[in-house]
Chain A
Amino acid sequence: MRGLLVLRDQVRLAPKPFGLAVGGSVLYAITTVASSAVLGWVVDNVVAPRFTEGRVASGTVIAGILAILAVGVCKSVGIVMRRLGAMTAQAQVQAVLRGRVIDKYLDLPLSFHRARPTGELLAHADGDAEAATGVLAPLPWATGILVLLVVTGGWLVATDPFLGVIGLVLLPSVLLVNVAFERRLEVPANQAQERYGDLSAVAYESIDGALVVKTLGAEGRESDRFAAKAESLREAKVELGSQQALLFQLLDALPTAGILLLLVVGAWRVDRGIITPGTLIAFVNLLRLVTWPLHMVGWVLGSLPRTVAGNDRVQGVLRQPVPPASELRLVAPPSGVGLDVRDLHFSYGAGAAVLDGVSFCIPQGCTAALVGATGAGKSTLMQILGGLLDPASGTVSAPTPVALAFQEPFVFADSAFTNISLGTDLTEADVARAARIAQADEFLDRLPRRYDSVIGERGATLSGGQRQRLALARALVRRPQLLLLDDATSSVDPSTEADILRGLSSELAATTTLIVASRPSTIALAELVLFLDGGRIAASGTHAELLVTSPGYARLVQAYEQDRVA
């Protein structure tokens, strides 16, 4: 029943092509019956006289042949309408579903994405959207076939109750066998699908981590792991395949046996003079034509659960509520204040608190450094400030726009220009200027098509430092009021880094900047240092002050010097 509701909603998305397909199917059904009737008429009125009496009027012959041709042409038109309509409708509905899913992905907050594996999210827009529309295309055909069934049954019963009974038993039983088998196939089919998912996950991860696999000489082990998945998938598929073999053969043999029965009983009826040989031939032909498409009805009924499941997964995404935009930005800072943070608390899921009451304030135009040990929560804090994570409690006030350069740069498989501008209306000059401050112009200018060069998936063709500088340019091009740099120059050599920082302070003088840094050279540039420890700002002040007041801070940042002295 839910299946019907799903289909109703889908039909509403493409009513015209769907209507065309239904029309075509009905035309097909009518012409199928007509073609059998014409054949029966030809047997009785043309073939029989010619072979028993030796002659037949040529007008009758021509009429018979023309009728066969005319019905054939109409049937073809029906087929074209049905196929064109059905496939167009399916494409249309798929496009709508895919578009909606992607739109929703863009609307939903980051936490939604973080909570789900990438593969699953991809599947919703790909395989699930396809499965959800799986029944839409064959549905019109199934409708036409139902018409066909009713007409066939009616004709048989009306002509001869004996034959009618055979037809009325045969047709539904073919349908029942079909549905029963489709249901039975569901278990092995789902199992195969599941194992295919497992195999894909292994392939994806192993090839994604190919570098690590290779450096540790684990190619053999990984191949064995994959081979085991491939083997269990093979087993599931062979199981599914042998069940299907039985089903298909049964669906082939059952109608043949039924028609045989019809033929034998029919011959007896002809002998009794109840029907003509032509009528018998017409019935045989019609049953032959009907049983084959019956598979389609069985298939539709059988795949309904799969369609409903696919649709449920898609709707699961579409029904996700979009939370109102984070309230963080609603608080505008008092004038002269660049960033004001009050009592932030945050934890990942049910884990321990990562931020446990973070409060600080940075004057406008000031450059501050955020310092903390590995795993102290610096990136977490930066993402909250950038509006990507919602804190459990606390407030942030900052002027817009805010730009965040991530610790790990993400590069789109697109041109350098698009990677920097990300689609905002920016001129070449703006982009070039940002690239210059980020020291990215040096290598971008050397690319074959300069800013129009396409950079590979995940920036594969760039060195680590080049990727970071590209991502930095992306942050700078927006002329942000608040610039958040999360260790954004860790792979850049010290001398280039110094050039970048110098450029920042001269070109973006009015911007409030918060830099996650561990290199003393970077910290040196900061007018204010915030030391994050134990989920709070454990100390703040200038670098020199902190060295005195905070032994933990001193231990952390003076490690290199002490090491050099030692």
Chain B
Amino acid sequence: MGSDDGTWRVLKRGWETSPAIRQGAVLTALLALVGAAGQAAIPVLIQQMLDRGLVDGRMQGGMLAVLAVIGFGVVVTTAVAGVMTRRRLIRRGEEALAALRVDAFRHIHRLSIATQSEDRRGALVARVTTDVEQLSQFLSWGGVAWLVNTSIIIIVVIVMVVYDARLAFVAIAVVLPMVAVLKAVQHRIAARYDAVRSRLADLLTAVSETVMGASVIRAYGAQPVMRRRAQSTTEALRVSQVRAAQMSAFLFPTGELFSVLTVAAVLGVGLFLGPASGLSAGELVAFVFLVNLFLQPVAEFTDIIDQTQLAVAGWRRVLDVLATPIDLVEPEPGVLLPHEPPQVTVDHVSFRYGSGPMVLDDVTAVLPAGARIALVGATGSGKTTLAKLLARLADPTDGRVLVGDHDVRDVASPSLRSTVVMVPQEGFLFDATIGANVRFGKPGASDAEIHAAFADLGLDDWLAGLAHGLDTPAGERGDSLSVGERQLVSLARAYLADPYCLILDEATSAVDPATEVRLAEAVESLSRGRTTIAIAHRLSTAERADLVLVMEHGRLVEQGRHADLVEAGGPYAKLHERWVSGTASLA
């Protein structure tokens, strides 16, 4: 990831990534030149009038009329060209940005769960929202300004050279140091604006925790800390904004200063040369206007460059997302899995998150087709991680996972996703109705199918108890339902997807015992013809499994049938002992 790419590299990468901006770019540029020609109308007219007698205070009516008609004609024509330029630029640019957004979004969803790890999610959202938005705002102003201003500069230089090459040379010679000054300051300004951005990100983190952690903050009276944090982040943001403002405020009048210098120099040289050199009064006065016309866009560039820096920084971040290697490579062509419950084989699998320690260490197991498998072990032993590898939410660091006879890396992802479905530990629901959330498992499912799914799981009573049934809103992340209810909905969602291999990661951990047992029975009777892998701390699941896998510190330490393991007296026997004494001591 070339995250420290210079501005030009980013622009080049962006240009190559977005075909839409390349289309018709030449015509747009030509139109911009025509549009810019209108700017020269007034200086040229002034020159013509002055040199055709006005400098002595005389002007023929006929000549005046001809000049006026030509002048208005030019203004109207170039204005039309100008509108066309801007419209073309916006149209192409927005097309490119929309494509960039969507590409980045698709890319993010294709990253593995490890890369996309949750602590970067806020940042990933910003890539496809604020960063692209900033580019879009830049496009409508700064992007247009680049094109229009460059065209104006070109046109004005041409007119100046036609009038008098020597004066044109003087004007450009005085401006060159200004360009050097701007260039020198540019990266320092950019650094200050980067600081503003990071301070803003800090502030947003502080705000979002104030909002999302609202319950914890109140339950623990943590308001004072959060208040201090908010104060220090808003203050840091203000200071960084003022520092950026100071630099840009002193840079901004550079254009003005150089403009008077240039006017003075051009006038001085022009007066020195005098009429004998072929220069006319009209040309000299026109030059004063041309110099201003020339310098205003140059000076505007100081402001535009600020904005450009910001936009380029955002663009770089979006492009970096696109450049993040997809660690879940889609096979070409992918294998299609047969429509039958698969045997799942874990073959010497090891895994680590990023550069962290090994979380799974050489795990090998065969999970027979159609079997009910229980995965148990202490918290943090790697159960969830293993489950994620089985569902190919990430690929193993070493070793391989086979579904049926195929390495999951060779299976076409639609086929894999419809065959293997995992219900994650946290019952995440979208901010929609319960019905819409369940339908997410099988788009297009009818209400009757959804009701049937709840009924199959023995949850129809619960559903009937809701005043609005399937139309009950789930709230943000499912907040309007109790934690256990969220798990019920997640389970129904996965059940409706009807996979041949179902992985349940503590999918009923918050559900009351009676409902849990009822669900377990339902899942069991429905799981004939399905490979089921259940992770649970409540060992009632393990007791009825065909195969129990026991994890400890990332290793698979035991596997076998429940009864055999209890007899063997190993780690599982101890876990089970704890469980039974817990449940039975009460009877």
| A539 interfacial by beta-carbon distance below 8 Å | no
CB contacts (< 8 Å) of A496 on chain B: these are: 378-379
- Given A118-B476, A203-B129, A234-B97, check contact A126 B207 (CB 8 Å): yes
The CA-CA distance from A65 to B269 in the complex, in Å, is: 11
| A245 interfacial by beta-carbon distance below 8 Å | yes
The CA-CA distance from A204 to B477 in the complex, in Å, is: 11
| A527 interfacial by beta-carbon distance below 8 Å | no
CB contacts (< 8 Å) of B506 on chain A: these are: 464, 490-491
Say whether B252 contacts A83, CB under 8 Å.
yes
Among B3-11, B161-169, B282-290, B367-375, the stretch in contact with A: B282-290
Question: B residues 407-422 with Cβ under 8 Å of A?
Answer: 413-414, 416-418, 421-422
CB contacts (< 8 Å) of B481 on chain A: these are: 375
Say whether B275 contacts A51, CB under 8 Å.
yes
CB contacts (< 8 Å) of A207 on chain B: these are: 108-109, 121, 124-125
Residue from A125, A216, A474, A557 with most neighbouring chain B CB atoms (10 Å): A216
Question: B residues 215-268 with Cβ under 8 Å of A?
Answer: 215-228, 230-231, 234-235, 237-238, 241-242, 244-246, 248-250, 252-253, 256-257, 259-261, 263-264, 267-268
Interface string of B57-74 (1 = CB under 8 A from A): 111010010011001100
| B280 interfacial by beta-carbon distance below 8 Å | yes
Say whether B125 contacts A518, CB under 8 Å.
no
The CA-CA distance from A378 to B479 in the complex, in Å, is: 15
The CA-CA distance from A60 to B563 in the complex, in Å, is: 112
Among B397-405, B426-434, B446-454, B526-534, the stretch in contact with A: B426-434
Say whether B226 contacts A106, CB under 8 Å.
yes
Which of B129, B140, B413, B518 lies in contact with A217, CB distance below 8 A? B413
| A2 interfacial by beta-carbon distance below 8 Å | no
| B587 interfacial by beta-carbon distance below 8 Å | yes
Say whether A277 contacts B86, CB under 8 Å.
no
Say whether B208 contacts A403, CB under 8 Å.
no
Residue from A378, A490, A498, A547 with most neighbouring chain B CB atoms (10 Å): A490
CB contacts (< 8 Å) of B455 on chain A: these are: none
| A538 interfacial by beta-carbon distance below 8 Å | no
Nearest neighbor of B90 in chain A, beta-carbon distance: A241
CB contacts (< 8 Å) of B483 on chain A: these are: 379, 407-408, 487
Interface string of A81-117 (1 = CB under 8 A from B): 0011001101110110011001101110110011001
Say whether B391 contacts A560, CB under 8 Å.
no
Which of B222, B256, B440, B537 lies in contact with A423, CB distance below 8 A? B222
B541 CB, min distance to chain A CBs, angstroms? 10
CB contacts (< 8 Å) of B216 on chain A: these are: 406, 410, 422, 474
CB contacts (< 8 Å) of A547 on chain B: these are: 586
* A/B pair count, beta carbons within 8 Å: 530
| A318 interfacial by beta-carbon distance below 8 Å | no
Interface string of A530-566 (1 = CB under 8 A from B): 0000000000000110010000000111111111100
- Given A204-B125, A492-B537, A559-B513, check contact A113 B211 (CB 8 Å): yes
Say whether A524 contacts B57, CB under 8 Å.
no
- Given A87-B242, A95-B234, A519-B583, check contact A491 B57 (CB 8 Å): no
| A158 interfacial by beta-carbon distance below 8 Å | no
CB contacts (< 8 Å) of A559 on chain B: these are: 513-514, 516-518
The CA-CA distance from A268 to B59 in the complex, in Å, is: 7
Say whether B393 contacts A215, CB under 8 Å.
yes
Say whether B414 contacts A217, CB under 8 Å.
yes
Chain B contact residue count (CB 8 A cutoff): 191
Nearest neighbor of A55 in chain B, beta-carbon distance: B274
The CA-CA distance from A518 to B493 in the complex, in Å, is: 24
CB contacts (< 8 Å) of A478 on chain B: these are: 220
Say whether B208 contacts A39, CB under 8 Å.
no
B275 CB, min distance to chain A CBs, angstroms? 5
- Given A102-B210, A257-B75, A563-B540, check contact A54 B267 (CB 8 Å): no
The CA-CA distance from A98 to B202 in the complex, in Å, is: 13
B101 CB, min distance to chain A CBs, angstroms? 5
The CA-CA distance from A558 to B513 in the complex, in Å, is: 8
Say whether B218 contacts A387, CB under 8 Å.
yes
CB contacts (< 8 Å) of B68 on chain A: these are: 260, 264
CB contacts (< 8 Å) of B119 on chain A: these are: 413, 456-458, 460-461
Say whether A72 contacts B259, CB under 8 Å.
yes
B111 CB, min distance to chain A CBs, angstroms? 9
Nearest neighbor of B106 in chain A, beta-carbon distance: A223
Nearest neighbor of A118 in chain B, beta-carbon distance: B211
CB contacts (< 8 Å) of B581 on chain A: these are: 521
Among B180-188, B336-344, B572-580, the stretch in contact with A: B572-580
A177 CB, min distance to chain B CBs, angstroms? 13
Among B21-29, B40-48, B171-179, B308-316, the stretch in contact with A: B40-48
Say whether B246 contacts A374, CB under 8 Å.
no
CB contacts (< 8 Å) of B281 on chain A: these are: 47-48, 50-52
| A383 interfacial by beta-carbon distance below 8 Å | yes
Nearest neighbor of B354 in chain A, beta-carbon distance: A461
Say whether A91 contacts B284, CB under 8 Å.
no
A392 CB, min distance to chain B CBs, angstroms? 18
| A170 interfacial by beta-carbon distance below 8 Å | no
Say whether B379 contacts A463, CB under 8 Å.
yes
Say whether A230 contacts B102, CB under 8 Å.
yes
Say whether A51 contacts B274, CB under 8 Å.
yes
Interface string of A436-471 (1 = CB under 8 A from B): 000000010000000000001110111111100100
Among A147-155, A281-289, A335-343, A358-366, the stretch in contact with B: A281-289
Nearest neighbor of B112 in chain A, beta-carbon distance: A214
CB contacts (< 8 Å) of B494 on chain A: these are: 215-216
Question: A residues 176-228 with Cβ under 8 Å of B?
Answer: 196, 199-200, 203-223, 226-227
- Given A281-B285, A407-B510, check contact A226 B377 (CB 8 Å): no
Say whether A373 contacts B514, CB under 8 Å.
yes
A72 CB, min distance to chain B CBs, angstroms? 3
Say whether A39 contacts B288, CB under 8 Å.
yes
- Given A230-B98, A260-B42, check contact A248 B86 (CB 8 Å): yes
| B116 interfacial by beta-carbon distance below 8 Å | yes
A460 CB, min distance to chain B CBs, angstroms? 3
Say whether A52 contacts B55, CB under 8 Å.
yes
The CA-CA distance from A520 to B208 in the complex, in Å, is: 38
Say whether A80 contacts B86, CB under 8 Å.
no
- Given A106-B223, A217-B413, check contact A69 B379 (CB 8 Å): no
Residue from A51, A238, A407 with most neighbouring chain B CB atoms (10 Å): A51
| B569 interfacial by beta-carbon distance below 8 Å | no
Say whether B245 contacts A84, CB under 8 Å.
yes
Say whether B129 contacts A383, CB under 8 Å.
no
CB contacts (< 8 Å) of B234 on chain A: these are: 95, 98-99, 102
| B458 interfacial by beta-carbon distance below 8 Å | no
Say whether A460 contacts B117, CB under 8 Å.
yes
Which of A92, A102, A263, A461 lies in contact with B207, CB distance below 8 A? A102
| A331 interfacial by beta-carbon distance below 8 Å | no
Say whether B289 contacts A285, CB under 8 Å.
yes
A311 CB, min distance to chain B CBs, angstroms? 18
Nearest neighbor of A197 in chain B, beta-carbon distance: B129
B584 CB, min distance to chain A CBs, angstroms? 6
Which of A253, A285, A379, A494 lies in contact with B482, CB distance below 8 A? A379
The CA-CA distance from A524 to B582 in the complex, in Å, is: 7
B241 CB, min distance to chain A CBs, angstroms? 4
| B83 interfacial by beta-carbon distance below 8 Å | yes
Question: A residues 337-386 with Cβ under 8 Å of B?
Answer: 348, 351-352, 372-376, 378-379, 383, 386
A293 CB, min distance to chain B CBs, angstroms? 12
| A63 interfacial by beta-carbon distance below 8 Å | no
The CA-CA distance from A50 to B285 in the complex, in Å, is: 12
A409 CB, min distance to chain B CBs, angstroms? 9
Which of A54, A126, A204, A474 lies in contact with B204, CB distance below 8 A? A126
Nearest 3 A/B pairs, CB to CB? A217-B417, A521-B582, A465-B379
A-B contact pairs, 5 of them (CB 8 A): A47-B284, A102-B210, A249-B83, A461-B119, A461-B353
- Given contacts A73-B257, A221-B443, A520-B584, list 4 more A-B pairs with CB under 8 A: A68-B260, A211-B424, A244-B140, A460-B117
